[in-house]
Amino acid sequence: MPTIVACFKWVIDEAYIRAGPSGEVDLSSVSWKLSDYDRNAIEEAVRLRDEHGGTVIAATVGAPGATKGIKDALSRGPDRACVAADEGFRDLEPSQTAALLAAMVSGPIGAYDLVLCGEGSSDLYAQQVGPRLAEKLGIPCVCFAQKVSLEGRRVIVERRVEEGVEVLEAPLPALVTVLPDINSPRIPGVRDTLMASKKPVETLSAGDLPPVPAARTETVELRTARLERTCERFGAEPAEIVRFVDALRRRNVLT
């Protein structure tokens, strides 16, 4: 019966990001959420457990606020959680996140068969933590899965690539990153949320993990992405339709 680790990240909800007066990123009114793509990783872990038995552990590292994500993650079906939250874990870059998760998975979690990650986080979307974590753990890894199945001590993965689909297999333990279309993540109900508060949570402090390695990248600047467009408005009346088509013609985009 497999032990499956589903990694998740508690992230800023990008829908609430505003531009400051000179284009700086204004995070003053943001709320936080469970990273979109990680919902698919958790759902897939739970689906595999429901099919094969075993245990799903939801795992995260992050700033102290990340503990707010535990209940959300557990309400989606995992059996327990393992969380390392510390002020020193704020704004980690992918190499640091992978190093800490590797220490968590190989240390406190210990025995595992499969690690599932989203293809990327909805804040940084660097798509590095999965493969970097696999390298740190020294296990095989397949990214961009649209289908995952377990057969004995092997994982079979359909991976989407530019020219179509590749079916790959790897021995367990292995790591797989999943695409958002692998499943439709459940929307937890009241009962799920109530159940979640009863599930065991292992909380680690910074001292339980090795020191955070130095960052390998530094952010020099962060600015809102401006889509500079002319924002001309048109109605839908016949005269407006003519004006719209004329406007397209004037811009030389019609053949």
Which residues in 44-73 contact another protein (CB under 8 A)? none
135 lies in the site for another protein, by CB under 8 A: yes
8 A C-beta contact, residue 32 and residue 12: yes
In which residue are the tokens 């993650």 written?
73
Could you say which of 107, 165, 197, 203 contacts another protein (CB under 8 A)?
165
CB 158 within 8 A of CB 166: yes
Using alpha carbons, select from 69, 65, 15 the residue that is nearest to residue 42: 69
Among 63, 124, 201, 206, binds another protein (CB under 8 A): 124
Q: Pick the closer one to another protein by CB: 11 or 83.
A: 11
165 neighbors 158 (Cβ within 8 angstroms): yes
Of 1, 111, 161, 190, which lies in the binding site for another protein, with binding defined by CB under 8 A?
A: 161
Asked if 194 interacts with another protein (CB under 8 A), we say no
Closest contact distance (angstroms) between CB of 48 and another protein is 18
Q: Which of residues 136-155 bind another protein (CB under 8 A)?
A: 136, 140-144
Token pair listed for 246: 């004329």
CB of 102 to another protein, least distance (A): 10
Which lies closer to another protein via its Cβ, residue 90 or residue 203? Answer: 90
Q: Which is nearer to another protein, 41 or 83 (CB)?
A: 41
Query: C-alpha distances in angstroms, 226 versus 20, 22, 24?
Result: 12, 11, 11
Alpha carbons 159 and 140: distance in angstroms, whole number: 14
User: 87 vs 162, which CB is nearer to another protein?
Assistant: 162
Pairing of strands 18-19, 154-161: unpaired
Stretch (H or E) spanning 76: none
* Contacts to another protein from residues 87-106, by CB under 8 A: 93-95, 98
